[in-house]
A and B are shown apart, each in its own frame.
Chain A
Amino acid sequence: MREYLWYIVCAVACLVVLVVLWPSEAGSPEEKAALAEGRVVITYWDRHTGHEYEARVKLIEEFNRSQNQVYVRTLPIGSRIEKLLTAIAGGAPPEICSLETAVLAALASQGCFTPLEDFMAAEPYLNEEKFFPHVWAMVRFDGHVWAVPTTTDSTCLLWNKGAFRRAGLDPDRPPRTLNELEEYAAKLTVRSPNGMVEQIGFLPWLPWDVTHMWGCLFGGKWYDPATKRVVCGNDPGIIASLAWQQTFAVNPASRENPPHAIDPTMVSAIPGGGFGEYQSASNPFYTGKVAMITEGEWQVEFTRKYAPDLDWGVAPIPQPEGAPPVAYSPNAVVDAIPVGSKNEEAAKVFLRWFYSPRPNGGASPASDYNYDIQNIPPRREEAMQERFTGHPKFRVFVEQLLTKPAEPYPAIPAMQLMSDDMERQRGYVTLYKITPEDAAHNIEADTNTELERVAKVRGRAAR
C-alpha cells in the first residue's frame, strides 16, 4: 500500500497543477460580471491589429455597456488565414470574425460560413440596395450572402507636392493622362551622378503589385461570372496593361529605353521598401523616396500618424483614352459567422447593433468605425456623410465610388492563387522573360486549372 501512496500523491499534485493552470472562463473583471449576470459571452476575432483594432474595441465596449443579454470578447488575430482555417476545421471557431473578402471567397466556397441572406433581408439597414454594388458582389456568390460588409476601399493616385516643386512641376496639377504620368515619372526620377536611383518618380507595382487594377483601368476583363471562368488570356485591355507596366522596367537587351524606365532591382534599394516598414515613418512615400504611388483612402489616417509634415495630393488614377471610367476597390473587410459558431443568435444581436443607427438617431457604430480608421463605409448613404465627403482628401477617394462603377476582385475560391500568379507573371514581363500575351494566357490557364480542381473536389465531396 505504501508504494502506491507515492503514485497517488503524484497524481493529486498533477491534478492540482492542472486546476491552477486551467484557463479561466472569463478573461476580465467585466466578463466575469457579465457571466455572473447570466449574459451570453461570445468571441469576436478581428482581422485588424494596432490602432484599427483599438477603434473596434472601443465600439465593442460601448455595445457591452448597452447590453444585458450578450457580452462580446474581442481578440486581434490579424489577416492570416491559417488561424481561422484551423479553428473552423477544429470545430472551435469564434462566434463572429472579421476577414477580407479574398479570404471569404476561399473559405465560403468550402462551406465555412453561415449564409446571412435571410437575416440581412429582415434588417432594414442591411438590404442589398444600401450597399455599393461592387461590395455586394464580393459577399454574394454561390447563391448566398456570406457576410456583412464593414469597410471598403478606393484606390487613387497620391503625389508628393514637395517632389513636384523640386522637379519644377506644378504641385497642384497631378498627371491626368497615362502619357503625362510617364512624363512626370521621368521628371521625378532622380539619379545620382554615378547612376544610382535616389528617388523613384513612379512605378506601377510600387508599393505593391496591382496588376489586377491596371487591367481593370485599361478596360480589361479578368473574370466572367456567367461562365465562372477567368477570361484574360486574349483580352486586349489586360495585355495592353501588362505591356504598359513593362515600359517602366529597363530592357537589358535594348539600347533605347523610355526615359521613365528604371532598373527593377533598384526598387529594393529604396530604404523602407523592405520588410515591415509600410505602416511606419520609413514608408518610402513618406520619406520622399517615391514621388507618386497608387494607394487607398487609409493613407489619410496613416500620413496623419506617420508623416504629419508630408505635403501630398490625391487624384483619380489616369486611364488610357477610350477606356470606360472605373473606380478600383479590390477588397472589403466583412463580418461573417463561421459554421460551428456556438451562439449564432447572440452574434446576430451584435451585428444588428453594430450596423444600425444609434437609438438617438446618431450614426451607426459601423460608420463610426470607418471614420475612426478612415476607411470608406460600404453603404452608399453612410459614405456620403459629411464627415467622409467633407475632408478635402478623403472626398476624392469617396467620389470615385459614388461616380463610377467600381471593380473588385472576383469572388472566386482561387483568388489567392490568381493574385500570386498575376504578380508572378507581371514579374516575368517586367524582367522581359515573357511577353504580355504569354503572361495573360498563363494567368488564365493557371487559375482556370485551379478552379476546375476546386469544382471537381467539391463535386466529389458532395457525392
Chain B
Amino acid sequence: MTRRERRNLRNGLLFASPYLLGFVAFTLYPIVMSLYYSLCHYNVINPPVWCGLDNFRTLITEDKVFGKSLWNTLYFTVFSVPMGLAIAVGLALLLHQKVWGLAGYRTVFFLPSIVPIVASGVLWLWVLNPQNGLINSTLAMMNIEGPGWIADEYWSKPSLILMSFWSVGSAMVIFLAGLAEVPQSLYEVADIDGAGRLRKFWNVTLPMITPTILFNLVMGLIAAFQYFTQVYVMTAGKGTPADTTMFYALYMYKNAFNYLRMGYASAMAWLLFILVLTATIGVLISSKRWVHYHGE
C-alpha cells in the first residue's frame, strides 16, 4: 500500500466513522449479544446464565402462546401481503390514467400512509365498533348484521387484515413509478397485434412491473412478520380475544419487558429472523421464474 493509498484509507475511514461507530455500537453489538442472550436465562438486571438451547426447546415444545402467536402472524402475513399488493397494483393502475386532478387523487390515496400508526389504530377502533362503527352502521342500513370485528374471535384477524389495506399508499407510489417505467413501445406493439386492455395488462404491464412486485412483496413480508403497533394499541397489548391477536412481535415484547425474560425474547427474535430470512430467500429463488427485468 502506497503512502497515498494509506492516507486515502485513513481519511475514508475517518469520514465514515460516525456511521461505523454507530453501526458497531447500536446494530452489530446488539445483534451479537442477542444471539448470546438467546442461549442464556437473562432478565436484564442480573448477569446472563448460560442455558444452551433451553429457550428454544421451551418455545417449541412447551409454550402454547408462542404457537398461537406464530399461527396468528403467519395467517396475517399470508392474507394481508398478497391482497395488499393486489390492491396497491389496482390503485396504481387507476391512478396511472391521464385524467384531470390526478395529483390530487394520488395524494388522497397516499395520505393514510402518513397518519401515525397509533392514531390510525384508535381511528379504526371506531370504524370497527360493532354497534356504532362506520362499517356496521352501513351494513345495518342494508339490514345486514355486522360482526363484532376486533372483539370477535373469528373476525379479529380479518379486521386487522382489512385495516392493513388502509396503508397500501406507499406500495402504490412505488407501483406508480414501476408503471411509468414500462416502455410505451410495448403497448404500441400490442396494439398492432390487436391486443385488448386485459390482454395488455396480463402480457405487458404485469410482467414489466414484476421487479416492483418483488420489492414490495419482500418489504411487505418483513413488515407483516413484525406487525406490532396497531395490535398493541387496539387490544391494549393483550392480544384479545382468546389470543387471536397475540402476534409474534407482541408476545416477544411482553416476554422481554413485562415478564423480564430477555433471553427468551432474544430466542424468539432469532427464530423470527430465521423465519423472515427463509421466506425472503424462498421468494427470491422463486422470483427467477416470475420476475422479468428489462432487456432480459
Q: A residues within 8 Å of B by Cβ?
A: 81-82, 85-86, 88-89, 106-107, 110-112, 194, 196-197, 263-269, 271, 274-276, 413-414, 416-417, 420, 423-424, 427-428, 431, 433, 449-450, 453, 456-457, 460-461
Contact = CB atoms under 8 A, between A and B. Distances in A.
A457 B47 CA distance: 10
- In the A-B complex, the 6 residue pairs with the smallest Cβ-Cβ separation, listed nearest first, are A265-B148, A268-B151, A269-B131, A265-B151, A269-B130, A457-B41
B125 interface: yes
Contacts of A269: 129-132, 148, 151
A457 B43 contact: yes
B49 interface: yes
Contacts of B46: 110-111, 457, 461
Contact of A423 (B150, B238, B257): B238
A275 B260 contact: no
Contacts of B45: 85, 88-89, 107, 110-112
Given A428-B242, A457-B49, A461-B47, A85 B129 contact: no
A81 B242 contact: no
B236 interface: yes
Given A81-B258, A111-B46, A267 B242 contact: no
25 contacts: A82-B257, A85-B44, A85-B45, A107-B45, A110-B45, A112-B45, A196-B131, A263-B148, A265-B147, A266-B130, A266-B131, A266-B148, A268-B130, A268-B150, A275-B121, A275-B122, A416-B259, A417-B258, A417-B259, A420-B258, A423-B238, A428-B242, A431-B153, A431-B242, A461-B47
A265 B257 contact: no
B117 to A, nearest CB: 13
Contacts of A264: 151, 241
Given A266-B130, A268-B150, A110 B238 contact: no
Given A265-B148, A269-B132, 15 more contacts: A88-B45, A112-B45, A265-B130, A266-B130, A268-B125, A268-B130, A269-B131, A269-B151, A271-B132, A275-B233, A275-B236, A424-B65, A427-B241, A457-B46, A457-B49
B254 interface: yes
Contacts of B254: 420
B137 to A, nearest CB: 11
Contacts of B126: 274
Interface in B16-62: 41, 43-47, 49, 62
A456 B241 CA distance: 33
B188 interface: no
A9 B227 CA distance: 47
B265 interface: no
Contacts of A82: 257
Contacts of A424: 65, 243
B284 to A, nearest CB: 36
Nearest to A339: B45
Contacts of B151: 264-269
Nearest to B264: A453
Contacts of A263: 148
Nearest to B54: A453
Contact of A416 (B131, B148, B258): B258
A413 B259 CA distance: 9
A271 to B, nearest CB: 7
A265 B152 contact: yes
A450 B234 CA distance: 28
Interface string B127-161: 00111100000001000000111111100000000
A413 B126 CA distance: 37
Nearest to A85: B44
B41 A453 contact: yes
A427 B131 contact: no
Contacts of B43: 110, 457
B240 interface: yes
A304 to B, nearest CB: 26
A433 B242 contact: yes
A453 B47 CA distance: 16
A290 to B, nearest CB: 14
Interface string B225-243: 0000000011010101111
Contacts of A85: 44-45, 257, 260
A196 B48 CA distance: 53
Contacts of B121: 275
A211 B87 CA distance: 43
Interface string B72-83: 000000000000
Contacts of B49: 457, 460-461
Contacts of B257: 81-82, 85
Contacts of B132: 269, 271
B239 to A, nearest CB: 8
Most chain B CB within 10 A, of A89, A112, A276, A457, is at A457
B176 to A, nearest CB: 34
Interface string B176-195: 00000000000000000000
Contacts of B243: 424
Contacts of B44: 85-86, 89
Contacts of B259: 414, 416-417, 450
Interface in B53-109: 62, 65
Nearest to A414: B259
Nearest to B260: A106
A427 B129 contact: no
Most chain A CB within 10 A, of B46, B129, B234, B238, is at B46
B234 A275 contact: yes
Contacts of A461: 46-47, 49
B129 A268 contact: yes
B148 A110 contact: no
Contacts of A267: 151
A266 to B, nearest CB: 6
A107 B43 CA distance: 10
A205 to B, nearest CB: 11
Contacts of A194: 140
A313 B91 CA distance: 56
A194 B141 CA distance: 12
Most chain B CB within 10 A, of A266, A269, A453, is at A269
Nearest to B121: A275
Nearest to B246: A424
B148 A274 contact: no
A85 B254 CA distance: 14
Nearest to B239: A424
Given A268-B148, A274-B122, A110 B260 contact: yes
A89 B233 CA distance: 27
B269 to A, nearest CB: 16
